[in-house]
Amino acid sequence: MSTDEQLAKRALAVRKNAYNRYSGFSVGAALLDNKGNVYAGCNVENASYPQGSCAETGAIAAMIAGGGGTIKTIVVAGGSGEVSTCTPCGGCRQRIAEFADAETRILVLNDEKSWQSYSIAELLPASFRLG
């Protein structure tokens, strides 16, 4: 199994843990960092809706807590019921950009077995940078 397939499997597995009682929409994300470590996250909703967090946000927070610095590949698996295309939301594009470089690949699953690959420049052109 390729590294991409392993990451996709991890994203699909963590997606099952999504806490999504308000939207019913399940998202899992798994990333490979610059140190070769894999981190995963799922969406965690809240009765006070804006307090919820996205799957990508959870995976990135775990990477930083684990001492990683750069995302090499991040896989996103989302959808209501079956997996369907779920490109990262605007806020998560900005969060990914913070820890991405030109080689970072964002793989968005179309279904359980296939995906589309994007660079951060494709998902967030002319992104905001501080300083």
Could you write out the DSSP letters of every residue in the chain?
--HHHHHHHHHHHHHTT-B-TTT--EEEEEEEETTS-EEEEE-B--SSGGG-B-HHHHHHHHHHHTT---EEEEEEEEESSS-B--PPPHHHHHHHHHT--TT-EEEEESSSS-EEEE-HHHHSTT-----
Q: How far is the CB of 25 from ligand THU (least distance, A)?
A: 4
Q: Which residue, 2 or 128, has its beta carbon nearer to ligand THU? A: 128
Q: How far is the CB of 54 from ligand THU (least distance, A)?
A: 3
Q: Which residue, 2 or 51, has its beta carbon nearer to ligand THU? A: 51
Q: Which residue, 72 or 93, has its beta carbon nearer to ligand THU? A: 93
Positions touching ligand THU (CB under 6 A) are 20, 23, 25, 27, 43, 45, 52, 54-56, 86, 88-89, 92
Residue 18 CA to residue 86 CA, distance in Å, equals 14
Is 103 one of the catalytic residues? Answer: no
Q: How far is the CB of 83 from ligand THU (least distance, A)?
A: 13
Out of 56, 103, 112, 122, the active site residue is 56
By annotation, the residues acting in catalysis are 56
